[in-house]
Every structure is written in structure tokens, then in C-alpha cells.
């Protein structure tokens, strides 16, 4: 029986300088799990949300403040160049929802592969909308989401859920048709979610 460390070592070897893209509803734990996985296999972590919020602050163009996805042309301009950064060249990448709008996934895969970061797996953290709404309400009480305009109220949050249903689910269906999708039960403890991610990625190394 392989240890967690042995499984992570096998995943790192299998991934090379490739990338793993993590998706899920808002509040499903994409960044939490992505950062943990990146640290475990010495990868670099890229979050489309973090990049977009930083660019919105810099440009003063607040496309996402009402919960909608940013326009595809802006996504291409702001996010895709990160794949070609020289400081990421030798590293595998763990991505958090890079390419959320149906139609963007082909361009994401093309640019990633061209930069030596071929997408080798796409993780979906499965959790119900009712559960993420509960997490949203809890986060508001704890005030642990920072000054995020896309989390300012429940109505905006519900817009984000609708965007996921209408625009991102087709992205995941496409990845599934390519045999890349790895579904994870996101309604578990953080440790259990991470362990399931590792186990299912490890199976891809055989």
C-alpha cells in the first residue's frame, strides 16, 4: 500500500510541467485545495479569480463585481499570458478555474500546451448550491473573504451560481468528453477532499 508521499511523488512525475485545472461552484474550495496540492508537488498555483481581481483593481474595470464572468476577450488578454511566464517554465501548474466560459477551454488548452503546460486533468469539486450558499452565509459572519466585490451580497453570489450553471457546466462537459474530468466529493472535510484528489490523480499515473 503506497503512502501519501509516494502517491504525490508519482503524481509529480506523471504531471511533469503539465497542469491540472480545478473547477467547482463558488465557495467549493478550489483555491484551498489548489494551493495545498501545488505545495505538495512543488507546483505553481494560478487562480483566474485572483488574477482578475488584481487586474480589475489595476485597470479600474470592475467587470465581475456583480457576479458575471468577465468578457472572453478580456480573459484572454489578462489571464492567458501567465502560461508563458518564464518564471513558471520549469514548473507544473495547478489552476483554479482557468477558462470558465464555454468556448474558452479550447484556447486555454492550446495556449497551455504551447507553453509546455499541457492540461492533463480537470478536477470538479462537486457540492450542492444549497451547501455553498450555507458556506457563503458562514463566511459573511466570519468576514474571512476579504473585500471581494463579487461576494458583497447574496444576490451577487446567486448570479455567480447562475453563471456556473449556464457557462461553466458546458466547459466541464467538454473536458469530460476528452476523458480529462476527475469528479471529487466536495462535501467532506478539507483533508478528505484532498485525499480523494490525490487518490484519483494517482490512478492516472498507472
Residues 153-176: tens digit of each pLDDT: 889 999 999 999 999 999 999 999
Cell numbers found for residue 92: 507544473
Residues 5-25: tens digit of each pLDDT: 999 999 999 999 999 999 999
User: Strand order of the sheet with strand 119-126?
Assistant: 44-47, 93-96, 19-24, 119-126, 181-185
Confirm whether pTM is higher than 0.85: yes
Indicate the pairing of strand 119-126 with strand 93-96: unpaired
Cβ(70)–Cβ(52) below 8 Å: yes
Residues 95-143: tens digit of each pLDDT: 999 999 999 999 999 999 999 999 999 999 999 999 999 999 888 777 6
Cell numbers found for residue 24: 467547482
DSSP string, 30-60: HHHHHHHHHHHTT-EEEEHHHHHHHHHHHHT
**What end-to-end distance do the CA atoms of the chain give, in Å?**
14
What structural domains and CATH numbers belong to the chain?
Answer: 4-203 (3.40.50.300)
Amino acid at each position: 500500500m503506497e503512502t501519501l508521499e509516494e502517491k504525490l511523488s508519482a503524481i509529480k512525475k506523471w504531471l511533469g510541467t503539465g497542469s491540472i485545472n480545478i473547477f467547482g461552484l463558488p465557495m467549493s474550495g478550489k483555491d484551498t485545495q489548489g494551493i495545498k496540492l501545488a505545495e505538495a508537488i512543488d507546483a505553481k498555483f494560478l487562480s483566474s479569480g485572483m488574477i482578475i481581481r488584481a487586474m480589475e483593481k489595476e485597470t479600474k474595470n470592475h467587470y465581475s463585481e456583480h457576479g458575471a464572468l468577465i468578457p472572453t476577450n478580456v480573459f484572454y488578454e489578462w489571464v492567458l499570458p501567465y502560461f508563458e511566464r518564464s518564471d513558471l517554465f520549469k514548473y507544473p501548474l495547478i489552476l483554479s478555474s482557468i477558462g470558465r466560459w464555454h468556448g474558452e477551454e479550447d484556447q486555454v488548452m492550446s495556449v497551455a500546451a504551447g507553453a509546455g503546460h499541457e492540461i492533463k486533468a480537470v478536477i470538479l469539486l462537486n457540492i450542492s448550491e444549497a451547501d455553498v450558499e450555507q458556506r457563503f452565509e458562514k463566511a459573511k459572519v466570519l468576514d474571512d473573504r476579504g473585500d471581494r466585490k463579487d461576494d458583497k451580497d447574496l444576490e451577487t453570489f446567486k448570479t455567480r451560481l447562475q453563471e456556473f450553471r449556464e457557462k461553466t457546466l458546458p466547459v466541464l462537459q467538454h473536458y469530460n468528453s476528452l476523458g480529462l474530468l476527475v469528479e471529487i466529493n466536495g462535501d467532506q472535510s478539507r483533508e478528505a477532499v484532498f485525499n480523494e484528489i490525490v487518490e484519483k490523480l494517482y490512478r492516472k499515473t498507472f
